[in-house]
Structure 1
């Protein structure tokens, strides 16, 4: 397996023998099924670690499928995965900007309908749902970062492109299992309650 195709999570030298020796499809099935079975009983940080692992596995699979010589895949499937990967990459770089499906589709150079279809087929949700998920994940990272302890939660929400409102806090609670304030309080001493 070409190491450049691996997400950073799997590029550690100590993981190289494991990554090269394991059949990816088998590995994804084992990891995915075991995480799926136990996801409801995992504590919040473990849930996020499990979600991050599954995201990394999916991204790895999408990027490495053409190199693995998987001849069963249709060209439309490869294109669809490329659209989703490109759109997610663009979204990550533009989290703080207000945008909609039209802007994301234009950035990826596909029609909005094609982009919607690709996301629904590959991820099971819309591009805007994915953008919100990426923004909530980034907000969580900022809340856990000690360098951002003095910045208000509302300001951090604005930095991630989210509205500082009760509905955003409710979405965060649904995604993370705790409020933004609870996440911040777990970062340790020095937290200023703003």
Structure 2
């Protein structure tokens, strides 16, 4: 969904669709501009909008897991008990959060159906009795906050690039990524569940494997070599990836290589070609690479190269 508007009523209508608990308590129509971009993937909504106005708003979700970031020159965010740092992401599944600003603000938000989020969290942890709850509106660290910002940009770009027909596997992967982004950034009951029954050790191994892949994806590494690097059997690594991030090591390696090829296509010089870049990132079959690229980024690799 894409909308640019100068009608105050549009804001209320869209907010109520995505965030039933949200309300605008005060807004000045004389100095108003609204730009909205969003994508809905099943029970997940990914939203970014900018709003120029004098605003006092409040959010208190009942059936949603709501994670958000407000960037405004004079923005103020608070709960009943604390002030939220300006520019930092925050999250709530029941706590009241109020926001005020006068001017232009950019808001980025992930909205998850609470029941669906709990179902996914139970699958990840293996704890069928897990009651998913956030235990703080504040991120667990500055590093976690920065990771949330980077992950949100990836999620929105990827979701907006999907065509109308969509792809169930890609959409499920993005939803899983969105949930782990929220639960990795903010303290919750998920954190304690993931550390039980060896979950913490398994999660640490997956993180090491992800780092190894990120740093070496440009080399002709194999999944066997990734497993050896983190001192685990290949079968054990595959199981840990499935439990931890709901994809195989091969799928993650392919995604990182696609991202690398995407960057090279955007930065390519006049002597570059799609085939050369594809091979550089381990895609020997250029036709297969082109199909994967279009499926992931919503356009052809050749178009990306020619534009940049």
- Shorter-chain TM-score tier: 0.5 to 0.7
Radius of gyration: which is bigger? Answer: 2
The aligned residue for residue 142 of structure 1 is 264
The aligned residue for residue 91 of structure 2 is 22
Tell me whether 1:112 sits opposite 2:202 in the alignment.
no
Q: CA, structure 1 residues 135+122, in 2 after alignment: closer, same or farther (shift >3 Å)? A: same
Matched residue SS, 1:163 = coil
Q: Is the 8 A contact 1:62 1:81 kept in 2?
A: no
* Correspondence list, 1:91-102, <5 A: 91-102=213-224
Tell me whether 1:181 sits opposite 2:302 in the alignment.
yes
The aligned residue for residue 278 of structure 2 is 157
Instruction: Give the structure-1-normalised TM-score.
Output: 0.64
The aligned residue for residue 209 of structure 2 is 87
CA deviation vs aligned residue, 1:39-80 (integer Å, no higher than 9, x gap): 998346xx9xxx9998587357447769x9943331522222
Q: 2:290 aligns with which of 169, 172, 194?
A: 169
CA distance in 1 between counterparts of 2:211 and 2:296 reads 21
Q: CA, structure 1 residues 85+164, in 2 after alignment: closer, same or farther (shift >3 Å)? A: same
Structure 1, gaps ≥5 residues long: 1-9, 188-194
CA deviation vs aligned residue, 1:100-157 (integer Å, no higher than 9, x gap): 2210001111111111001112222210111001111111111112xx2222222222
Structure 2, gaps ≥5 residues long: 1-68, 74-83, 96-108, 117-151, 167-172
Instruction: Give the structure-2-normalised TM-score.
Output: 0.43
Q: Is the 8 A contact 2:183 2:190 kept in 1?
A: no
Q: Is the 8 A contact 1:96 1:158 kept in 2?
A: no
CA distance in 2 between counterparts of 1:172 and 1:55 reads 19
The aligned residue for residue 126 of structure 1 is 248
